[in-house]
Amino acid sequence: MTDSTAVIDQITDLYQEAFCWYGPKRAVPTIHVSFYPYVGINHTIRLRGGEIFVRIGEICREMPIASHKGLAYILLGKLLGKRIPTGAREVYSKYVKTTEVREKAADNKRVKGRKVVTTSKGAVYDLNEIFASLNAQYFGNTIPKPALTWSAKKTYRILGHHDATHDHIAISSSLDTPNTPHYVVEYVVYHEMLHIHHPTKHVNGRRYNHTAAFKRDEQKFVYYAEAERWVERNVRRLKKDARKK
């Protein structure tokens, strides 16, 4: 038996133990555990043919056994629709939220991650022009230009996204229409630029994307109130358009 097999067997025992905890009167099904080369900190659990299949992100191969136990209770709790016991999330998070693991995940995304980049010049609006104008007006041209792109698919829940790992800003193509005011597209781009100006902070294992300083600067956008109202009033139309084939 190799060391790798021994580790898998040990982790499998944890999932069997967790299953018994959730359903003490149920027969424990066959449980298959394996490591999988997900890009980030991802894990999956599936029930197929009466057997349970668990895939743990390769990035967690060196995770302490106590954290694996916490993950076992988390995944099985979700699969079985049961309340996850107190402490399971904490012991797992204690490992995955360490600086070392976060940096390793970020490095994996840079190397293996794939971003769909379409074009910055849309049918109506040019993101390059909007970025340059906002950079000069609000940031004194201090924001390094990231890759700018309209999203490949129309979305309505998320109108913009900044990916620090890939130095990438994507704006929903739902906004690239004559019906969308110029100041709305500007506002969404401005919001994503603020994520560059105010990088994510990590405090005690928690991520803070919208700090007080971020929110103060967000309201400095000239058409802040108007843009917020427009999005609120048009979300149904954006949703309808996004769902059209």
The structural domains of the chain, ordered by start, are 3-112 (3.30.2010), 127-243 (3.30.2010.10)
Nearest alpha-carbon partner for 113 in 187, 59, 61:
59
**pLDDT tens digit sequence for 92-103:** 999 988 888 887
Q: Is 6 helix (H, G, I), strand (E, B) or coil?
A: helix
Nearest alpha-carbon partner for 119 in 89, 157, 164, 151:
151
HSE, side-chain direction, 13 A CA sphere, residue 220: 13
- In terms of phi and psi (left: phi > 0; alpha: psi -120 to 50; beta: otherwise), the region of 84 is beta
Q: pLDDT band at residue 124, thresholds of 50, 70 and 90?
A: very high
Mean pLDDT of 34-41: 85
Q: What is the pLDDT of residue 242?
A: 83
How do strand 51-57 and strand 43-48 relate by DSSP bridges? antiparallel
pLDDT exceeds cutoff 70 at 33: yes
**pTM of the predicted model, to two decimals?**
0.58
Q: What is the pLDDT of residue 245?
A: 52
Mean pLDDT of 205-212: 79
pLDDT exceeds cutoff 60 at 117: no
Q: What is the pLDDT of residue 101?
A: 83
pLDDT exceeds cutoff 50 at 188: yes
Q: What is the pLDDT of residue 205?
A: 59
Q: Of 32-41, 98-107, 111-120, 209-218, where does the model show the most confidence?
A: 209-218
DSSP 198: S
Among 4-18, 67-81, 115-129, 197-211, name the one with the lowest average pLDDT: 197-211
Q: What is the pLDDT of residue 115?
A: 53
Q: What is the pLDDT of residue 208?
A: 80
Mean pLDDT of 57-75: 93
pLDDT exceeds cutoff 50 at 2: no
- DSSP H or E run through 207: strand 206-208
Mean pLDDT of 123-130: 96
Nearest alpha-carbon partner for 56 in 84, 2, 14, 119:
14
Mean pLDDT of 30-37: 92
pLDDT exceeds cutoff 70 at 109: no
